[in-house]
Structure 1
């Protein structure tokens, strides 16, 4: 029997979602006659230690995964469960994303102390978020709001709201759902007006590329639809070379191609619709483009090219130079 050591951040959300994955993989391994046991190992990342500075100023997404990835390369752990939106586009040599399980709700939500939705928040309300993507879209929709940085785990952010430090905060619906705190949500923000982060709501199960035994199990756990959608989104991100430093959002939906004879067959032709955005951090400019196609990589590349053609490159360069 092989013991799989699973690396995990210490936050309540990270532990909760990792334990759920371990439970799912335990059942899968039993169903398919694989002899695995799992052990959770907590790892503190740089992103967990630096809480008084916005992510964009201290290194972006990789802050939450670097120490975990090094432990994997050193064979101290065998796999890790990440929020896919925290995973950089390029992974270290020797590591791969072994599975993307079925996606949770990808949308953002507003939680307010008064119970007011976004359009009904009082003039000049203080809204907490450290995401430039969220700040950009908030400022475009409500220029009067005072948008202030907020760091910390999901539970500490909710406490800051309750303590009166903010009138409202923006969080991912997926994290609240996984914690069983969906009743705290005041308003879910539609992707039609408020695009989520690339890969939001999805998990990435990272492992060593040469671990054939574990990869066989993870392949069974992979959700093909989610994998195609996030491939389009992450390709878009990769072309724009984006991260936490810049306001970039994307949302892909896989849908059956209409009016095709193949639709009723097992190999029905599917199309992916991707909407991407790049904006100025102050919300003064928001660029959005949508493209539909059959290949996720090509769809991601096309939306990025459309945005670049409309001036996205200049916005990204200006944002990253600040």
Structure 2
């Protein structure tokens, strides 16, 4: 038997260590190749430096630990979101430029009035001969309008109706009925204020607002105008003229607006008209009822008024006779 010395034993240990290392490396390579070739296989888990994984840690897999064949579970929406998504609202198209908008319909010109009548609030129709103009103011209610229109139609007479803008706006059907009957319409201001206490600018606003309301209801009041309460002076007449309107007053006020409670009767209304009868007479009557007793004396007296005027040899005209 041969005995090795100390150096020989060291070499033997080194060789054994190298052989063991090679064996370990070969074994590791084979294991890696087998894992890569197996579908769905998980790589070996390296031990944690801090010791074994906790229960929570072992239940939570990292992204690299999810099998490639598994589908991830859909995420639940937050509680504040609806289950079905609402599609966004379609965009609002931009407004067309002003140049592309249709032009407003032109306002037809008003019938001009003779320059010789400027500066006057007419109380009769010049040169009318034996003819009477029946005029009706509308600013309160329309209680007497159906009867008035019926009486005018039955007698074949046309009248002139001075409307406030507020009345026209509240009674578009009444305006339509007046126009359908072939009657003339005039401007009586928007809200029936006393004009002598108004500035020129406020007068212009009153007349323009009334014109707009009356035109919106289907009639054109131009160029006839009647002052509320009949109050006027040289300044207000000139202002009205500058706005293209001709002021028209009256020859006789029937006083039917005072009502039975004011001591007036239908007979008295007719008597006043006949007592003032003259060529070109302008008669002032009212559509509305008396606010205290509800009487409509002008409407009640109208058939008798028409009959007695004709018996006196007179006919009828509208205020368009002022315009030539």
Q: Which has the higher strand share?
A: 1
Q: TM-score, normalised by structure 1?
A: 0.21
Larger Rg: 2
Q: TM-score, normalised by structure 2?
A: 0.21
